Amino acid sequence: MIIETKAKEAASEIITELKIKHPSEIRVELIAQHLGATVSYAPLRSAAGRLVRSGKRAIITIPDDVFNEGRRRFSIGHELGHFILHEDIIDYVMCSIQDMMDWRGNRKMETEANYFSGELLMPFDFFFPRCVRKEANMKLIKELAGDFRTSLTATAVRYIHVTKEPCALIYCVDGKIEWFIKNQADFKYLIKNRGQDVDKESLAYESFQSNENFEGGFSVPASAWIESDHLFNEDLKFIESTCCLPSLNATLTLLWEN
């Protein structure tokens, strides 16, 4: 995808230019300052991030009530992506939480900024070696999020983009499917559409009811997540690993074939 390639290449060039060799060296506020963008914190009632540009300089503003380090860092990376990639944004842009969840290209510039932030904070050369030959589940995602100081959702998306295993990531809000992405490997099943209720046979449903995590990976009927007319084997099982995100009334699910 051209959107993905352009953004990742721009972020990768910055990591190379700054000779960053370890995730601990990815200090996103200093990187932004080096590139001409100063990061500030202030009340933002209806936005997850704001960019104000003046020529080759900019101010990135992040809400001062966001205490999750991973979310803060991703938001900074997202706005920095706009600054680096989108010179046609002359002076001002406001981004919502929904913008920072757009990995499907619904709004091209927001998706580009997300890919840029993902590559900047979790460079492929650092991230991929930590994934290979490890079981895919939310325990691994949490471990990676700790290594890179990134949010669970951004880390899970990054995992889907780099893993060689056929799997999918599903984000649900208020008991309904909000979005999903599949990796480039052969995950050949059609996941249920946005807006459909979370199936009662899924772990995500149980997570909504109990606010519990099911990180290790458990067998569930494929019909819990797959459109019935795309299910060739009614006895097919998937492995599901789900985390609850109580502050967002959401769940994040990794799914792969048993």
- How confident is residue 214, by pLDDT bands cut at 50, 70 and 90? very high
Question: Which runs of consecutive H residues, i.e. helices, occur in 18-151?
Answer: 28-35, 69-85, 108-121, 124-127, 138-148
Q: Which amino acid is at 213?
A: N
What is the distance of C-alpha 44 from the center of its chain? 22
Neighbouring-strand partners of residue 37: 58
Q: Judge contact between 218 and 254, C-beta under 8 A.
A: no
pLDDT per residue as tens digits for the range 128-142: 999 987 888 999 999
Query: Angle of helix 152-162 relative to helix 69-85, nearest 10 degrees?
Result: 60
pLDDT per residue as tens digits for the range 80-96: 999 999 988 767 889 99
Q: Which amino acid is at 11?
A: A
Q: What is the rounded distance in angstroms from the CA atom of residue 185 to the CA atom of residue 176?
A: 26
Which pLDDT score is estimated for 224?
Answer: 94
Sketch out the chain's domains with CATH numbers.
2-121 (1.10.10), 165-257 (3.30.450)
Which pLDDT score is estimated for 1?
Answer: 57
Which pLDDT score is estimated for 92?
Answer: 83
pLDDT per residue as tens digits for the range 136-178: 899 999 999 999 999 999 999 999 999 888 899 999 999 999 9
Within a 10 A sphere around the Cβ of 73, how many other Cβ atoms?
A: 23
Which pLDDT score is estimated for 133?
Answer: 78
Q: Which amino acid is at 117?
A: S
pTM for this predicted structure: 0.91
pLDDT per residue as tens digits for the range 89-121: 767 889 998 899 888 878 899 999 999 999 999
Between 3 and 29, name the one with better pLDDT: 29
Which pLDDT score is estimated for 25?
Answer: 97
What is the residue-wise DSSP string for 158-214?
A: HHHHH-SS-EEEEEEETTEEEEEEE-SS-----BPPTTPBPPTTSHHHHHHHH---E
